Chain A
Amino acid sequence: MLPTRRREKNVSQNEILKVDQLKKYFPVEKSFIEKVLTRTRHFVRAVDGVSFSVLKGEIFTLAGESGCGKTTTGKLVVRLIPPTGGKIFFDNVEITTLDHKALRMLKRKMQIIFQDPFASFNPRMKIGEAVGHPLEIHDIAKGLEKRKRVLEILERVGITPAEKFLNLYPHQMSGGQRQRAAMARALILQPEFVVADEPVSMIDVSLRTAIIDLMLNLRKDFELTYLFITHDLAIAKYISDRIAIMYLGKIVELGDKETIFSNPVHPYTQALLSAIPVPIPERIRKKTELIGEVPSAVNIPSGCRFRTRCQYAKKACEEKEPELILVSPNHYVACNLAAN
């Protein structure tokens, strides 16, 4: 059974977000000749049946390589793009089919921060304006009240002195400051839930830790819940409470971070963990080798989607698609071999 259902009984009052069999398929554009000759349509199955739930106050991480669907999942969850199938619940209310007006109310409660802080600001809008913009859109504050709130939140995210930055344009700030401003803009509506999509991967190493610490502090002060999306498992380990590892649009392993790192069960998780560079001289870790490369999300292998690269793959893996099953408390794995 699915992990979310299993837990529903005891902890559902603590769930802030629940995702059930979420799917997102993007149609593949066909060439002219194909359009004339064929009728079949192809889809990139970016997210292909993902189920998980995020508890209030925790940092839940979606980790995986590029193309595994982690960012698409993040965008689906905040309803930036419509899902192809599946359900999303926020605070026990289904939000999968909300209309425009209701969605706007929802966005007060859930926000998203993107990877590239430069691309997520209008280059012709001053920082003060950009950060205060949500207040106007949601009719919360204007004029002096808006200015006061903007100053407050900028100070809070470490952009000091805030007055000096109000009239700057995004290009006049450093990458770290821009990402802080992006966080200020996300938090000015005092949301409960924030999706952070690779918030530090474009930021220099020496500034990264400060941003991560800021995120952790803000979580305490604003009682936030984060859905953290990253490809960097070392950062995932530092920041998260629970981690879900994704591969080709599905979660292959989900558990507490200690479990994932000390006792990874899925062969993909094992390979991923063994490839992480460790900052110790000559420490080349023993690697779990993987065969070949990630298959295309248009032609996902039958049965277990990982089988083409798995050294333990058996005949049965070609037919049976493994479901996420409980292997130890709070630890779920989608692997036919782990099931036995």
Chain B
Amino acid sequence: MTVDALTVEYWTRGGKIRAVEDVSFSLDKAETIGIVGESGSGKSTLGLSLIDLVPFPGRIIKGKIILKGKEVLKLRKDDMRNLRGKEICYVFQDPMTSLNPVKKISDHIVELIRTHEPQVTKQEALKRAKKLLKDVEIQPERINDYPHQLSGGMRQRVMIALAIALNPSIVVADEPTTALDVIVQAKILDLLNALRDAYGMALILITHDLSIVLQRSDRIMVMYAGHIVEYAPSIEIYSNPKHPYTQGLLKSIPNIELADQKLEAISGSPPDLLNLPKGCRFWPRCYFAFERCRSESPPLIKTGTEHFTRCFLHEEGRKT
């Protein structure tokens, strides 16, 4: 899949908000991309726009999403629906609100399979549902339970089972573990990793937790106020972060493996999207900001093989 110059706007009473601006990236088979950012950075909007589900009053105003040679945003309604189940699937943050409380787990899975593959009989679908539950490590007996009978972690496993039911090529997991405790979180992330390898699907992991994406993804996209500010393999992000925001984030997260760590805070707070600073969106909080940052918005600059940074400090010919 490739995404090119995607821009999403929300039309609000206060004016237009560009939640995602000029985002381009490509996703290889069976790789994990981590999208990390704070609330309001546009990471969830970006995830939703990949399946054209940006909620009203948002709309995609520019850009292309190409999946296996097809242009996603130009698809007709039924084709889009097909694509949502078979090609790209979404795992949401809160598993309680994404399952229908009056339907059994089996109904959820069977309905999904039979909607997309009408030729499958109920028996067959049930058999597949049981296998799926086994894949996500839930005892198959629980197939007749209702969502409220399951724990949070199990509900999230059911969501994952639904996401992989039709063997999609991409799974988008939006904060899949934020509502869960740390032990369950580790298990769910392990499960996603294992399924990615078993099913050969690509995974887009959206989270606010930099530790998780560093651990679990091949490449990381750092978002700030609707922009990608840095995009690189996770090893690069960890050992050679180039954008001041990424550097600041890395310095501000505690690491339990270090003794006597001194955390450094990033000063200021994220900008109001209705009232963005002129020039680079990060300059009011940036330690290195200079004249040009205040007037011009930097483009995403190639700063290494597969390493991109939106910062004037890394322009060619400039000494840092």
Contact = CB atoms under 8 A, between A and B. Distances in A.
Given A277-B211, A282-B215, A207 B255 contact: no
Given A237-B256, A238-B261, A281-B235, A209 B266 contact: yes
Interface stretch (A128-136, A143-151, A185-193, A268-276): A268-276
A293 B151 contact: yes
Report whether over half of chain B's contact residues are helix, strand or loop; otherwise say mixed. helix
A277 B209 contact: yes
Interface stretch (B7-15, B104-112, B168-176, B177-185): B177-185
Interface in B146-196: 151, 153-154, 181-186, 189-190
Contact of B181 (A66, A213, A235, A277): A66
Most interface-central of B151, B186, B190, B250 (chain A CB within 10 A): B186
Interface in A53-75: 65-66
A280 B215 contact: yes
Nearest to A202: B39
Contacts of B250: 279
Contacts of B212: 277
Given A213-B265, A280-B214, A282-B215, A273 B256 contact: yes
Contact of A280 (B238, B245, B249, B285): B238
Nearest to B215: A277
Nearest to A268: B183
Contact of A205 (B184, B210, B238): B210
A232 B259 CA distance: 17
A207 B269 contact: yes
A311 B270 CA distance: 46
B320 interface: no
A164 B249 CA distance: 29
A292 B238 CA distance: 34
A276 B269 contact: no
Given A65-B182, A205-B208, A210-B267, A278 B234 contact: no
B174 to A, nearest CB: 17
13 contacts: A65-B182, A204-B269, A204-B270, A206-B249, A210-B265, A234-B256, A275-B186, A278-B255, A279-B210, A279-B255, A280-B214, A280-B238, A283-B215
Given A205-B253, A279-B211, 7 more contacts: A210-B265, A210-B266, A212-B263, A233-B256, A273-B256, A278-B211, A282-B215
- 7 tightest CB-CB pairs across the interface, nearest first? A210-B265, A209-B265, A277-B211, A275-B186, A65-B181, A234-B254, A204-B38
Interface of A: 65-66, 174, 176-177, 204-210, 212-213, 231-235, 237-238, 258, 261, 271-284, 287, 290, 293
